[in-house]
Structure 1
Amino acid sequence: MKQILVYADSLSWGIVPGTRQRLPFDARWPGVMENILHARGMAARVFENCLNGRKTVWDDPFKPGRNGIEGIQQVIEMHSPLDLVILMLGTNDFQAIHAHTAWHSAQGISALIDSIRHAPVEPGMPVPPILIVVPPAIRVPDGPTMPKFLGSEHRCVGLADAYGDVATSHGCMIFDAGTVTTTSPRDGIHLDAEQHVALGRAIADIVQVTLA
């Protein structure tokens, strides 16, 4: 049984754009990925650790617990032994309360990688490989999320390249979600149901090759 941890935010939690509703497991991309892997004969178990508003390494002054580096080592320890960790974070780094650029978010991913690799897993358990998934670029925000993400479509420019540099320097795998999907036109931030399917299929292909 291959054990895969998805450590992410609301794009993977499956929030329905323009609402506070959640897609069911089979419809959000981690579930799509797991079902595809099962259909292809791979025994795989996906652990979702996805929190709305989670940032890479920064606190949220309005919501506690959104700093992604806090507790990540315990999450790794909790689910070990792991065959793969998938990190898909960064979108919330560009909320209007921050003045971050793609470089800042990439440094957050770098810190998360280091933290994962130093998690206090039990003796003999592996340090899992890491797949960085670059979130699709933020469109002009719309709807209820607009004030929170005002101007974020400009601050996130260059994220794929910045994450690519981090992946190279740390020896991690990387996949740009923007090559197979965009964010929803409904809010400019999250993923519609069909976009979850496209992303789940693409990541299943990577996981199948990686864990074969």
Structure 2
Amino acid sequence: MKQILAFGDSNTWGLIPGAIDRYPEYTRWTGILRRIVTPKGYRILEDGVVGRTTVFEDPARPFRKGIDSIAHYRSTEDLHTVILMLGTNDCKKALRNTPEQIGGGIEQCISRFEEFIPPEKILVLSPILLGENVWRPDKDPAFDRQSVETSAALKEIYRAVAAKKGCLFLAASDYTAPSPVDEEHLSVEGHVHLASAILKKLTEAGLL
């Protein structure tokens, strides 16, 4: 069975806004895809880690650099496609990354995946935007106003990186937005919209 890897952070894991739990399997965008593609002979591999960055060490949540986990999939049997969505945690105020630095981080992740899967089978997603008030104490003070601006700049940075590397590209922010509960994570409807956009993109690219 051909395998599709979904590699990301808490919005791939399926964190419920304002909570510490995750959505049920078939509520998450990965599970929605699973329900559709399994009858077609594909398996969805979920690898979402809360707090995961591209290549940057977060002192508050160490050992969550995405690039360090990519090599685990080098020997994955029948790995067919990679869906890569990281960058939100790279915007945290403690890291002080510019959009360009985050773009460099996603490029390094792509390069690591390209060691064992062709770039045309990598779908790079720029993440959903952070809400304007995500930094408030009742939401996620790990971010600040600059984080919001940085998040908004990632779409075009990622688009350019994907084009340079020969990957597919999709801007998650074109199809969905964070829940108003925490202005950071997808609502139930957001997972539906994102799954639909990814499914359409992979189908158009001939990967499904």
Q: Same fold (TM over 0.5)?
A: yes
Q: Spell out, residue by residue over 1:151-205, the C-alpha distance to the aligned partner (whole angstroms, 9 max, x if none).
A: 2112222211000110111000000111111111111111011110111111112
- Residue 81 (structure 2) pairs with residue 84 (structure 1): yes
Residue 32 of structure 1 aligns to a residue in which SS? helix
Q: Which has the higher contact order (CA 8 A, sep 6+)?
A: 1
1:34/1:204 contact within 8 Å kept? no
1:18/1:144 contact within 8 Å kept? no
Residue pairs, 1:7-156, within 5 angstroms? 7-38=7-38, 41-74=39-72, 76-119=73-116, 127=118, 129-139=121-131, 140-141=133-134, 142=136, 144-151=138-145, 152-156=147-151
Q: Spell out, residue by residue over 1:121-151, the C-alpha distance to the aligned partner (whole angstroms, 9 max, x if none).
A: xxxxx54621001111111204654211122
1:4/1:46 contact within 8 Å kept? yes
Q: 2: CA distance between counterparts of 1:157 and 1:179?
A: 11
1:143/1:187 contact within 8 Å kept? no
Q: Which runs of 5+ in 2 are unaligned?
A: none
1:18/1:143 contact within 8 Å kept? no
Q: 2: CA distance between counterparts of 1:102 and 1:203?
A: 23
Moved >6 Å (runs of 4+): none
Q: 2: CA distance between counterparts of 1:43 and 1:80?
A: 14
The match for 1:202 among 170, 174, 197 is: 197
The normalised TM-score by structure 2 is 0.91
Q: 2: CA distance between counterparts of 1:26 and 1:63?
A: 28
**Counterpart for residue 192 of structure 1:** 187
| TM-aligned CA deviation for residue 43 of structure 1 | 1.7
2:2/2:78 contact within 8 Å kept? no
- State the identity as a percent: 35
Q: How many residues align?
A: 203
| TM-aligned CA deviation for residue 104 of structure 1 | 1.3
Residue 70 of structure 1 aligns to a residue in which SS? helix
Q: 2: CA distance between counterparts of 1:171 and 1:21?
A: 36
Q: 2: CA distance between counterparts of 1:189 and 1:143?
A: 13
Q: 2: CA distance between counterparts of 1:184 and 1:84?
A: 28
The normalised TM-score by structure 1 is 0.90
What letter matches 2:126 in structure 1?
V
Q: 1: CA distance between counterparts of 2:18 and 2:181?
A: 6
Per the alignment, do residues 177 and 112 of structure 1 end up closer, same or farther by CA in structure 2, a change over 3 Å counting? same
What letter matches 1:131 in structure 2?
L
| TM-aligned CA deviation for residue 63 of structure 1 | 2.0
Q: Spell out, residue by residue over 1:85-130, the C-alpha distance to the aligned partner (whole angstroms, 9 max, x if none).
A: 11000000001101112211111110001111125xxxxxx54621
Q: Which runs of 5+ in 1 are unaligned?
A: 120-125
